[in-house]
Structure 1
Amino acid sequence: MQELFKKAWEKIKEAKNIVLVSHINPDGDALGSSLSLYPILKRMGKNVKVFNVTKPLPQYLDFLPNFDKVTDKLPKNVDLMISFDCGSFDRLGIDEKPPFLINIDHHISNTNYGDINIIDPKAASTSQVVFEMLKTNGVEIDEDSATCIYTALVTDTGSFQYESVNEKVFQTAAELVKCGAKPDFVAKMLFQRDRLSRLRLLAKAYDTIELCCEGKVAFVEVTKEMMEITGAIKDDTDTIVNSVRAIASVEVACMLREDDDGIKISLRSKNYADVSKVAVKYGGGGHIRAAGATIKDEFDFNKVKNMLKEDLKEIVKVEE
């Protein structure tokens, strides 16, 4: 990995026009990782742009330094593109590959679509991989970059709750605090800026909770009508599935959200079930404990639930 870090940094030093890109519908790790390199590359005199095809971007991340620099217009003049937290090229929302692409990720399912692929499945977040690359190359990490990397680490570890959290994760967090990241500020921005619309949506969504598979699986639904009535936006649905997983008997929580192109499924597990296996089956992906997919052109919640029940029964180990 050290050699890859050095090889990638040499390529970055050679390039003039650099684009930092993350996957469609970015989460904290995707945006935090890409934005962390922006001030560093600027200091190096690079012409750097941060691109994400999604519009609008998640509102809960608007406190990240240089959030307003993210554009949904892909620059034409690109020497080097660096992708973050994206398992396959098609999830970048880009039609053609650039002249050179560095692919940085921590998903084991990554398809290695880059010219240089820096994939560390043992890392708790893509931002941790970025951090190690910067350290290996002796790059100074300023407060803005540290804030982005720390935020990405917090969000992708479920606030340090997931199995991916180990001694190294806390060491990384401590070093980022030394570099200027402020845990109290990040915590307030992430967890103490709730929208009233989200709370109203939660009340309606919780009424739809259905347990199955001996209480080990919980389904929760979010319809377009619910969102219209409450004034909620897609961002407001992000943590619903996590809260449903908190039910004592539940091993896997599954949120079904009605979108324009079909039903989005978000899966979370608690102890042992690998939800990525289910997500991959339906064209999605993710982690062992957090994954998702969209079932295109399907809008019948009951039909989708019946499809998923058989798959979920398998991973939560319920006997016939």
Structure 2
Amino acid sequence: MEIYKQIWDEIKKADNILLIAHINPDGDALGSELSLYPILKRMGKKVTVFNATKPLPEYLDFLPNFDKVTNKLPKKTDLTISFDCGSFDRLGLEEKPSFLINIDHHISNTNYGDINLIEPNHASTSQVIYDILKANNIDIPADTAVCIYTALVTDTGSFQYESVNDKVFECAADLVRCGVKPDFVSKMLFQRDRLSRLRLLAKAYETIEMCCEGKVAFVEVTKEMMEITGAIKDDTDTIVNSVRALAPVEVACMLREDDEGIKISLRSKNYADVSKIAQKHGGGGHIRAAGATIKGEFDFEKVKEMLKKDLKEIV
């Protein structure tokens, strides 16, 4: 595609490049922004990998060049590339860069870049990166392959979501040929559990509330639960997915108490478009996985009643 070539032309012209992903990065965000680091360094570029979040998710600390991510912006930047971020305000930047390439796969992306490459039919932003590299005949080193593959695994729920198709598996197979060891990535992602997370799960599961004839399930995580169990934000990531796994549930919703307000995480199983609800409340995401923050609101029951009205319309 022409835009793939255009993006690589901009990269070749730039000397000082800033790679950035959304705040509170997930596997796709961090994996995508780290994926280009070794390639750009090999090209002789001065590269900064930035994320405003501190600390970064521990479960992703095995990613190559994880230690290169900084929360300090460089003094000089010719080109900024954002990854997996639907809107500019989620980048953690105060000012818009002089030239910004926006790469994403969320249909809700607001096209805030000077160049916007949004591929809603791709399973992850990292798959978009893969296609850019292939379109420009760029060799994929093992470090890059691990980042792209990890992002692909995490954003497809280990290849479980509707976004998975033949192209996703072809991409994964090629990444394995580039040096990825799937068993290693799997162990790093899924076999390094924290005791605090299991203790938090036990407390959170006690709050599960079913409604809409069992099609909707709510689960709550309070700051008190986090303090008692010693849990961190990373420990809450998979709670909503496990609640969605309940047999009758179509939509699972986790309410988590945050400094800003109540963070809502929505997951659907078969047909409900939860991205519409997230967008209604200032968030975004995918049809089957989305989220938002109800800022300034700390009453779980109030937020729950508000969401019940929304959810009844889609289940």
Coarse TM-score class (shorter-chain normalised): over 0.9
1:121 is matched by which residue type in structure 2? P
Deviation at 1:312, TM superposition (A): 0.5
* Secondary structure at 2:164 match in 1: coil
Residue aligned with 1:256, SS = strand
Runs of 4+ in 1 over 3 A off after TM superposition: none
| Alignment correspondent of 1:84 | 83
Shift of 1:96: 1.0
Q: Which residue pairs with 2:68 in the alignment?
A: 69
Deviation at 1:30, TM superposition (A): 0.4
Counterpart in the other structure of 1:44: 43
Secondary structure of the corresponding residue to residue 34 of structure 2: helix
How far apart, in 2, do the equivalents of 1:226 and 1:112 lie? 38
| Higher mean C-alpha displacement, 86-95 vs 240-249 | 86-95
Alpha-carbon distance between aligned partners in 2 of 1:230 and 1:98, rounded to the nearest angstrom: 41
The equivalent residue for 2:163 is 164
Alignment partner, residue 292 of structure 2: 293
* Structure-1 separation of matches of 2:79 and 2:192: 36
- 1:126-275 alignment runs, 5 A limit: 126-275=125-274
SS of the aligned residue for 2:138 comes to coil
Q: Which amino acid aligns with 1:197?
A: S
Alignment of 1:78-117 (within 5 A): 78-117=77-116
Cα distance in structure 1, aligned partners of 2:267 and 2:155: 13
Residues in 2 aligned to 1:146 and 1:190: alpha-carbon distance in whole angstroms: 16
> What is the alpha-carbon distance in structure 2 between the residues aligned to residue 114 and residue 303 of structure 1?
37
C-alpha separation in 2, matches of 1:296 and 1:88 = 17
* Structure 2 counterpart of 1:301, one-letter code: F
Partners of 1:87 and 1:222 in 2: CA distance: 25
Q: What is the CA distance between 1:28 and its match in structure 2?
A: 0.3
CA deviation string 1:269-308 (max 9, x = no partner): 0000000011011100000000000001111110110000
Distance 1:181 1:82 in 2: 25
What are structure 1's unaligned runs of at least 5 residues? none
d(CA) in 2 for partners of 1:120, 1:304: 32
Q: Percent identity?
A: 81
- What amino acid is the match of 1:265? I
Pairwise CA distance, 1:115: 1.1
Distance 2:178 2:196 in 1: 36
Gaps of 5+ in 2: none
Cα shift at 1:16: 0.1
Distance 2:80 2:270 in 1: 37
Q: Tell me how many residue pairs correspond in the alignment.
A: 315
1:7 aligns to 2:6 (yes or no): yes
What letter matches 1:13 in structure 2? K
Counterpart residue type for residue 127 of structure 1 = S
Q: CA deviation at 1:7?
A: 0.5
> Quick one: distance in 2 between partners of 1:292 and 1:114?
22
1:150 Cα deviation from its structure 2 partner:
0.1
Aligned amino acid, residue 224 of structure 1? K
- One-letter amino acid of the structure 2 residue matched with residue 107 of structure 1: H
Report the TM-score, using the length of structure 2 for normalisation: 0.99
Residue 36 of structure 2: SS of its match in structure 1? helix
Q: Structure 1 counterpart of 2:45, which letter?
A: K
C-alpha separation between the residues in 2 aligned to 1:49 and 1:304? 39
Whole-Å separation in 2 of the counterparts to 1:136 and 1:148? 19
Distance 2:302 2:211 in 1: 15
For 1:232-255, what per-residue CA distance to the aligned partner results, in whole angstroms no more than 9, with x for missing partners? 000000000000000000000000
Cα distance, 1:113 vs. partner? 1.0
- In the alignment, residue 52 of structure 2 is paired with which amino acid? V
User: How far apart in 2 are the matches of 1:252 and 1:199?
Assistant: 23
Distance 1:300 1:113 in 2: 33
Q: What SS does the corresponding residue of 1:33 show, helix, strand or coil? A: helix
Q: AA paired with 1:190?
A: L
Deviation of the 1:195 alpha carbon: 0.1
Equivalent-residue separation in structure 1 for 2:159 and 2:201 (angstroms): 24
